[in-house]
């Protein structure tokens, strides 16, 4: 029998760890190839991970509620033949104490402070022992209220820290939404799928808004995969409408609704969260007039749509009340100059203000 170590796989772009929801197998049990092993919560979905081997479970690395970093050991198997897969040298195991729920960093802190974690009363979610609990047990300061970081919040923070290094600029335009409101009402959809369809049309004429920067070239995508920023109880999640340029407005609306429901239910698949080539944030959904959206990983443009409401616009020299919104376009200045971004945004505004051009979009 040979020992094989299965590490936490990469379950999506920008994800560095997963939280064990529950084990579906026990140590000592025999498993078949592709038999479900464990449910893992990532920043964007709860994923069921299958067994990559057939054999016997020698060890489960982690207990329910623990965070496991990508590349760290998850399960050790005994299998017939084959080479032994070594455990990564950079990984340090902090075996769980029975009846104690704590993350590996908290267990490490307890060890450093000389605290027996088995004697600490946890005040975190479901009785989890937190860093403050350990510091209190050691006599250290605890003069703050600690809000435990969820996998979603950790992933959001990590992405923001990476994205802030990109030279990004935001430009704004006001759009008269009279034609848009009439058109989308006739179709029985929200403004979002109409704007996404219009953006796909603009991307065909301005390919740099659907591109990304690489070390030696700008990579323009051949298809348009639109990342939609979705607000959930766990935080902001970007889900992807794949091949949006091939879909009509009705299918865009259906897919947007599906992704929003899956994001809030925690049931997005890895394919639902990977591969965005451009992003859209509907900031108007929570009443925001405008915003300065941050780029999503792998994109050069994020478009934010502000709330549509009556505003005073000058039309043919007269001040009139019209439904209007602010569009905010954040772009990677390495990929686009301001003039290029401005031309693309102007074309989008012109399209959204034209009844004729709106009706030319695929339904």
What is Dmax (Cα atoms) for the chain? 85
Q: What is the pLDDT of residue 87?
A: 34
Instruction: Tell me which of 79, 113, 134 is where a domain ends.
Output: 79
Q: Is 333 exposed, middle or buried (0-12, 13-18, 19+ CB in 10 A)?
A: middle
What per-residue confidence (pLDDT) applies to 171? 97
Give the other-Cβ count within 10 Å of 130's Cβ. Answer: 21
Q: Where are the alpha helices (DSSP H) in the chain?
A: 104-113, 131-138, 151-163, 178-187, 191-205, 249-265, 338-352, 355-358
In a domain, 106, yes or no: no
Q: Is-catalytic flag, 333?
A: yes
If we measure between CA atoms, which residue out of 19, 265, 25 comes closest to residue 125? 19
Return per-residue pLDDT of the chain as tens, 363 residues: 788 999 988 876 556 778 898 899 999 999 998 899 998 887 667 788 999 999 999 999 999 888 888 889 999 999 875 443 333 333 233 333 345 677 767 877 887 788 888 888 888 877 888 888 888 888 755 555 667 777 778 777 887 888 888 999 999 999 999 999 999 999 999 999 999 999 999 999 999 999 999 999 999 999 999 999 999 888 888 999 999 999 999 999 999 999 999 999 988 888 899 999 999 999 998 889 998 999 998 999 999 999 999 999 999 999 999 999 999 999 999 999 999 999 999 999 999 999 999 999 999
Q: Are strands 226-232 and 235-241 parallel, antiparallel or unpaired?
A: antiparallel
pLDDT of residue 108: 76
Identify the pLDDT of residue 165. Answer: 87
Catalytic residue, from 205, 337, 355, 360: name it: 337
Give whole-number Cα distances, 265 to 15, 22, 44, 46, 194, in Å: 19, 17, 10, 9, 25
> Do residue 184 and residue 325 come from a single domain?
yes
Q: What's the CATH code of the domain at 176?
A: 3.30.559.10
User: What is the domain range of residue 26?
Assistant: 2-79
**What confidence score (pLDDT) does residue 308 get?**
97
The answer to whether 337 is a known catalytic residue is yes
Catalytic residue among 333, 350, 355, 360: 333
| CA 296 to chain CA centroid, nearest Å | 9
In a domain, 152, yes or no: no
CATH code for position 55: 2.40.50.100
225 is a domain residue: yes
Is 352 found in the same domain as 209? yes
């Amino acid at each position: 029998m040979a020992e094989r170590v299965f590490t936490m796989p990469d379950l999506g772009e920008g994800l560095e760890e997963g939280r064990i929801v529950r084990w579906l197998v026990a140590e000592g049990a025999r498993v078949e190839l592709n038999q479900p092993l464990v449910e893992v919560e990532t920043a964007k979905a709860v994923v069921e991970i299958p067994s990559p081997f057939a054999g016997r479970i020698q060890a489960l690395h982690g207990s329910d509620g623990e965070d496991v970093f990508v590349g760290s050991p998850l399960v050790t198997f005994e299998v017939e033949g084959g080479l032994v897969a070594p455990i990564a040298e950079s990984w340090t195991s902090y075996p769980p104490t029975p009846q104690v729920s704590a993350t590996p960093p908290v267990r490490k802190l307890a060890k450093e402070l000389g605290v027996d974690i088995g004697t600490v009363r946890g005040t975190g979610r479901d009785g989890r022992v937190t860093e403050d609990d350990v510091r209190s047990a050691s006599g250290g300061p605890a003069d703050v209220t600690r809000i435990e970081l969820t996998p979603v919040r950790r992933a959001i923070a990590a992405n923001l820290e990476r994205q802030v290094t990109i030279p990004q600029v935001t430009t704004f335009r006001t759009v008269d939404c009279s034609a848009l409101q009439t058109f989308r009402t006739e179709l029985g959809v929200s403004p979002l799928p109409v704007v996404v369809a219009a953006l796909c049309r603009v991307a065909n004429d301005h390919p740099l808004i659907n591109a990304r920067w690489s070390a030696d070239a700008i990579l323009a995508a051949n298809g348009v995969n639109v990342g939609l920023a979705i607000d959930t109880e766990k935080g902001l999640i970007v889900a992807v409408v794949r091949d949006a340029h091939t879909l009509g407005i009705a299918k865009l609306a259906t897919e947007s609704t599906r992704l929003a429901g899956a994001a809030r239910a925690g049931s997005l698949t890895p394919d639902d969260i990977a591969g965005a080539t451009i992003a859209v944030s509907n900031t108007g959904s929570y009443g925001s007039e405008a915003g300065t959206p941050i780029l999503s990983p792998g994109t050069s443009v994020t478009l934010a749509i502000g709330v549509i409401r009556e505003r005073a616009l000058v039309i043919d020299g007269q001040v009139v009340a019209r439904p209007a919104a602010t569009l905010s376009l954040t772009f990677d200045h390495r990929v686009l100059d301001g003039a290029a971004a401005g031309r693309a945004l102007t074309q989008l505004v012109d399209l959204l203000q034209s009844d004729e051009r709106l009706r030319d979009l695929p339904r």
